């Protein structure tokens, strides 16, 4: 007998979103679907204490960025109108979970901690994702593409700032950058609209506030 897929009500979806948020913020990330890019690299020497703290803060920023990515894509998937757009957002969120898991593990190796402001950033990103989805699929995809463009630039700056001996963090961030670029291309190919310049500047400003606070808190 063929069973039709269950149709979830709006309340069901909100409950699932709340559960996903709690797991993202306070639980462990789902196991990554891919092996860590640095799996074959053996750290021969520990980083000097000052460098370890600095890299730990950088990876905390990237971890917070991945927390926000989960919220953005979950919010967009929740309000997307077309099934293929919903699927694209969910696929992006699943791939970003790899980044989240990798950053979480690297944070622990660097004896650092998550940002204490993650619940704040997650809530804000979720609301932005929901709003982008309500605006329409082409704008939601446009927001995804611009987000990934800005994240790609950010990761490039972090790659330049990493100490030469930290190949493990470098390989992780390089793979993340490759994935973000691919997400942007996929969004453009799916019909993403070009966002107005004021929106892009606002996104960049919000990202700057998040990265600067996550670095220290």
Q: Read off the pLDDT band of 3 (50, 70, 90).
A: very low
- Residue 71: inside a domain, yes or no? yes
Residue labelled with tokens 């963090």: 169
Query: Would you say 17 and 73 are in contact if contact means Cβ atoms under 8 Å apart?
Result: no
62-74 tens-digit pLDDT: 999 988 888 888 8
162-211 tens-digit pLDDT: 998 899 999 999 999 999 898 888 888 888 889 999 989 998 998 899 99
- Residue 203: inside a domain, yes or no? yes
pTM: 0.82
More confident residue, 84 or 38: 38
What are the DSSP calls for 124-188, one per residue?
HHHHHHHHHHHH-HHHHHHHHHHHHHHHHHHHHHHHHHS-TT-HHHHHHHHHHHHHHHHHHHHHH
- Residue 22: inside a domain, yes or no? no
What are the DSSP calls for 2-19, one per residue?
PPPPPPPPHHHHHHHHHH
Query: Total domain count for the chain?
Result: 1
Q: What is the mean pLDDT of residues 4-12?
A: 52
Rounded to 10 deg, the angle between the 10-26 and 49-79 helix axes is 180
- Residue 96: inside a domain, yes or no? yes
Confidence (pLDDT) at 32: 73
Q: What is the mean pLDDT of residues 11-37?
A: 63
The residues, ordered by sequence, that sit 6+ positions from 116 with a Cβ below 8 Å of its Cβ are 217
- Residue 14: inside a domain, yes or no? no
Residue 97: domain span? 49-216
Q: Read off the pLDDT band of 130 (50, 70, 90).
A: confident
Residues constituting the chain: 217
Average pLDDT, the chain: 82
CATH number for position 57: 1.20.1260.10
């Amino acid at each position: 007998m063929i069973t039709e897929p269950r149709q979830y009500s709006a309340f069901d979806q909100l409950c699932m979103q709340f559960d996903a948020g709690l797991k993202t913020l306070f639980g462990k990330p789902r196991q990554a679907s891919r092996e860590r890019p640095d799996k074959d690299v053996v750290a021969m020497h520990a980083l000097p204490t000052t460098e370890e703290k600095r890299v730990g803060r950088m990876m905390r920023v990237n971890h917070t960025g991945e927390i926000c990515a989960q919220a953005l894509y979950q919010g967009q998937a929740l309000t997307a109108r077309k099934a293929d757009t919903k699927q694209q957002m969910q696929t992006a969120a699943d791939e970003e979970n790899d980044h989240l898991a990798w950053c979480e593990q690297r944070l622990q190796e660097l004896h650092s901690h998550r940002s204490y402001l993650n619940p704040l950033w997650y809530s804000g990103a979720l609301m932005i994702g929901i709003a982008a989805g309500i605006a329409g699929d082409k704008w939601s995809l446009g927001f995804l593409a611009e987000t990934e463009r800005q994240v790609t630039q950010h990761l490039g700056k972090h790659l330049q700032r990493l100490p030469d001996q930290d190949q493990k963090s470098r390989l992780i961030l390089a793979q993340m950058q490759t994935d973000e670029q691919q997400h942007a291309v996929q969004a453009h190919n799916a019909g993403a609209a070009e966002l107005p310049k004021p929106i892009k500047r606002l996104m960049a400003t919000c990202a700057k506030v998040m990265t600067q606070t996550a670095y220290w808190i």
